[in-house]
Structure 1
């Protein structure tokens, strides 16, 4: 027997495998084992990876060796260089130089209390090598702590790529290859093994963050087999860990091992992107902005709405036009509105203002400060619609813009007496700044976030539907940063005042709403209520909208002195303004089959009115 680490001591403790002197078993799983050995021929220490079960035939051994040799051709800084591949006493092996480092298991045994930053640094390096291998159609098959090496300098390398397939699977493949040399199942098996690798790396991430193996099982392959679809257990980080875990990182780790298969990371690059996003955010105060800064410089902040050139040209020839009329015209273009706010709140323009005037929160004042020439310059700096977005993403972007405008008009209808409608509209729109930025600059990631937020059918009949993630958790899991913080970082980059940065953060849905003590509080409350109301009518099926709106009224009724009637009538008025302008008449409610889910212009409010009358 090769595994004799628990055997009683013998007069001669030296154990050998062919020419190798076995020094220490560094780790084992159901599929592989790693031995520290001394090689007399080269006079160096090596680490040998072997299958846990000796191959039953020479054909199986040859296939194991073939996969190992194929994988050894890959050259990547995060893949361990292979010294030798061979057979000793009918045991195939892969040899790696011990000088490359210690195993992750050894490092954790020596220092189990890792910082979150170190844990993520190690896992991301392993993912870099793994992603490179997956893109070459090669999977590992048995990512264990004893297959991940860490050097004294902190460089991480994945060892023994391709050695993790069970010998039973190899025997089946050997039989297939005799009958069909070009087996089409190999590519499918490789893709499935790659997905399993990513889930396994999530379990490794759990172990290094929690300081203990998931499900109290050190073999990651066994843990995978206990999760859906093979098992019924689930893995989530405990709240008590050796070191504090930031909420964003916790969301990423929990998504990586969630019991809902559809929510997991199915690609090493997506998990890597989420972890790198978290690292960039944690590294510096403006880390969230670094996700966007390059794209902001190349494609601008938001695109201009269609027809912006003609709109600005009409303003240019209407020198006698009132400023409020100009502002109402510009307000229809979210990109141009934000660009003017950004321009007039920059340090350069603020320096020309009278001290104590505070932030610019209306387009009327912005136009007065920069003049028509400044408006033309702002419009010229915008990319024409839809910027770099392809058609499908442009349509989604337009729906989001309409939804934000609907919320702005709803906030105007709900605002208490004495508050400037334009200020209320812009604060409400700015509460969606992060969502707009993600949809424009990271449309694929925005799609992933929406998918993670969707509920899924129950696994068994009679059970409740599987809930989707919250927007915050989904954004953490995809981008490594929450959308609210991303929007706040952009607003801070624009130079917006601290009072504005406070107001453009939505009220947390899990906390009660208090009666506002200041104007800033009242503007924040009004904007949050309008945004939650629009979320209720755009994110719920018709039969649940009434209950969702009732929750909004319960949260904000006292603070804003509104009833269900006020809210539904405000939404009707907002929809009419969105579709027909400030003087528009509220159109008939469309038949349900005409409405497109999530389209604020076609939301059916008839059910809401009926629920209010009951």
Structure 2
């Protein structure tokens, strides 16, 4: 935009000292304040004399370079003005003054984020997340409608007095192409590329709000993007010196939004919104977000699909009545979905009937005995057959995860302290993986995204050994909550006891392992060790795998009284079984013939013969006519 013209003064005007200040104008608009100026756009507060109200004008910094470019600009601006969403600012007018196009918004919609931060320098993290969530929701709707912003700045976020956020300035900063280009051919590609840059700038905006200062000392977020890797050399991470403490989950979301590796960032506004909204709603007592969505899916399609039809076939053939409870329990434990369904049914029934039962029922034989054969058949019929709504690849991933969970259960049984029921230990181990299992079944795409984030980024000269995200940090970045919280929420929904809810929380890999003083702590630590050992077995490098096993063993050794020998026997059950058989049945000596037995009986026992004296032992070494010089009897 050229220098803002002023209204020319008449020739016979009064002296300069007495005439009023000249008004700055842009067409019919009176320019009152420059709200923001970036490398691509300007935002002005103006007064429209025709409407008699204040407006906000958004203009490009560079005028379109041809009549075709101007026509394309106006066409795109009018198209986005027709997109309606509660978080998109409604457009008052799309017009032009000479060669300069503009988009006008009502000032009554609120103030810009820059103005709000000037008044309220340190908003709470929950408020910041709420603002950005609303912004992302509107931006995602615009992206899905085929439009991009291309100049996301703090001034493009309007906040009303009631904290309703709207996106302003869509399609104002359009790409600059040569004058003879076919705009219809290049516009679609430009929108796809610009949408990812929009999401990155929203992440920088969140850093700006939470950090309390400009990111990389730049007020223009586009200039910040140019300084960040991989375009520049700067690294953007959430500082530890912030006006308010930043929760770990929110910190992980912020850091992923501006990760130095482009492939690790959020590529879509909808994904960014889901993660941030998941954290925001989890703070609000789990009234929404991924936990509420998961509970809704549990009501509609169940927790897991049945991986075995053995019990259903037995029930249909009326042969179940002849089965012993232990045999039925063995069949039920082979089907993870059925085991969980039986636990849910028996504990939910006890809770509803108000029965006085100590703790939670965690034994399959007891659960089957309490539900009866009819209850067991109903539980088996209530499950969806394998693989449910999953595709072939997703079903294979769930099957692999189930195999690892079953392996962890067997290891926990081998490592359990003496006197504890093996079924109880196995089921606690399964429940410690409940969140992971449900995520893989109900949100397979999110589970794949978490696994991708856990892979270490590609090494560079500056970072030859880059660290990967932990499972907890990756879950925070994708869902806004950790996987244990998913499992705990479902356990509460199933009316399982507080003691079990305590045991299904894994021991944190970063927290020290304390000596267990209660049975529940002892079982929780035993199952946590088994799960960590299975995680270590997934490392492809044998040397690093062995190191991870040794590290996990050392962490739990004092609290559980275990060593590497017990751990290796638990990881290799065949060797442990062979050792037990060898101890129970020592190898028999070869049979001797009768002649060998008689010869051994007649052979004198060397232990029973008298020992020769010292003098007698020396006699054979002496010759017949020789007497030792030092022998006192040699003179006689």
Shift of 1:370: 0.9
Name the count of aligned residue pairs. Answer: 565
> Secondary structure of the residue that 2:378 maps to in structure 1?
helix
Q: Deviations over 1:377-434 (max 9, x none)?
A: 1111111111111111111111111110000001111112111111111111110010
- For residues 69-108 of structure 1, the aligned pairs below 5 Å read 69-108=78-117
- For residues 93-492 of structure 1, the aligned pairs below 5 Å read 93-165=102-174, 169-172=175-178, 174-177=179-182, 182-183=184-185, 185-285=186-286, 289-310=291-312, 312-313=314-315, 317-346=319-348, 348=350, 351=353, 353=355, 355=356, 357-460=358-461, 463-492=463-492
> Secondary structure of the residue that 2:43 maps to in structure 1?
strand
| TM-score (normalizing by structure 2) | 0.84
After superposition, the Cα gap between the structure-2 partners of 1:3 and 1:228, relative to the gap in structure 1 and judged at 3 Å, is farther
> Secondary structure of the residue that 2:387 maps to in structure 1?
coil
Q: Deviations over 1:197-224 (max 9, x none)?
A: 0111111111222222212211111111
> Secondary structure of the residue that 2:384 maps to in structure 1?
coil
Partners in 1 of 2:485 and 2:547 — Cα distance?
29
Q: Deviations over 1:473-527 (max 9, x none)?
A: 1111111111011101111111111111111111010112122221111101110
Look up the match of 2:633: none
Look up the match of 2:528: 528
> Secondary structure of the residue that 2:57 maps to in structure 1?
strand
Partners in 2 of 1:526 and 1:350 — Cα distance?
31
> Secondary structure of the residue that 1:512 maps to in structure 2?
coil
Shift of 1:60: 4.4
> Secondary structure of the residue that 1:319 maps to in structure 2?
helix
Look up the match of 1:564: 564
Question: Could you list the runs of 5+ residues in structure 2 that have no partner in the other structure?
Answer: 7-16, 582-636
Find the structure with the greater CA-based Rg.
Answer: 2
Shift of 1:312: 4.4
Look up the match of 2:606: none
Partners in 2 of 1:192 and 1:557 — Cα distance?
53
Look up the match of 1:496: 496
- For residues 575-614 of structure 1, the aligned pairs below 5 Å read none
Shift of 1:260: 1.6
Segment of structure 1 superposing worse, 559-568 or 379-388:
559-568
Partners in 2 of 1:153 and 1:442 — Cα distance?
34
| TM-score (normalizing by structure 1) | 0.87
After superposition, the Cα gap between the structure-2 partners of 1:315 and 1:336, relative to the gap in structure 1 and judged at 3 Å, is farther
Segment of structure 1 superposing worse, 85-94 or 106-115:
85-94
After superposition, the Cα gap between the structure-2 partners of 1:115 and 1:220, relative to the gap in structure 1 and judged at 3 Å, is same
Shift of 1:372: 1.1
After superposition, the Cα gap between the structure-2 partners of 1:386 and 1:370, relative to the gap in structure 1 and judged at 3 Å, is same
Q: Deviations over 1:261-303 (max 9, x none)?
A: 1111000111111122122212225656313111001101111
After superposition, the Cα gap between the structure-2 partners of 1:326 and 1:314, relative to the gap in structure 1 and judged at 3 Å, is farther
> Secondary structure of the residue that 2:104 maps to in structure 1?
strand
Partners in 2 of 1:419 and 1:320 — Cα distance?
29
Given that 1:64 and 1:170 are in contact with CA atoms closer than 8 Å, whether structure 2 keeps it comes out as: no
> Secondary structure of the residue that 2:31 maps to in structure 1?
strand
Given that 1:103 and 1:148 are in contact with CA atoms closer than 8 Å, whether structure 2 keeps it comes out as: yes
Partners in 1 of 2:575 and 2:129 — Cα distance?
46
**What is the Cα-based RMSD across aligned positions, in Å?**
2.5
Look up the match of 2:47: 38
Shift of 1:182: 4.6
Partners in 2 of 1:110 and 1:549 — Cα distance?
54
After superposition, the Cα gap between the structure-2 partners of 1:575 and 1:493, relative to the gap in structure 1 and judged at 3 Å, is farther
Shift of 1:136: 2.1
Partners in 2 of 1:130 and 1:189 — Cα distance?
16
Partners in 2 of 1:122 and 1:19 — Cα distance?
34
Partners in 1 of 2:348 and 2:486 — Cα distance?
19
Question: Could you list the runs of 5+ residues in structure 1 that have no partner in the other structure?
Answer: 578-582, 584-614
Partners in 1 of 2:30 and 2:184 — Cα distance?
39
After superposition, the Cα gap between the structure-2 partners of 1:400 and 1:24, relative to the gap in structure 1 and judged at 3 Å, is same
Partners in 2 of 1:189 and 1:333 — Cα distance?
51
Given that 1:280 and 1:290 are in contact with CA atoms closer than 8 Å, whether structure 2 keeps it comes out as: no
Partners in 1 of 2:230 and 2:304 — Cα distance?
42
Partners in 2 of 1:110 and 1:195 — Cα distance?
31
Look up the match of 1:544: 544
Look up the match of 1:602: none
Given that 2:278 and 2:479 are in contact with CA atoms closer than 8 Å, whether structure 1 keeps it comes out as: yes
Given that 2:286 and 2:292 are in contact with CA atoms closer than 8 Å, whether structure 1 keeps it comes out as: no
Look up the match of 2:588: none
Partners in 1 of 2:90 and 2:137 — Cα distance?
15
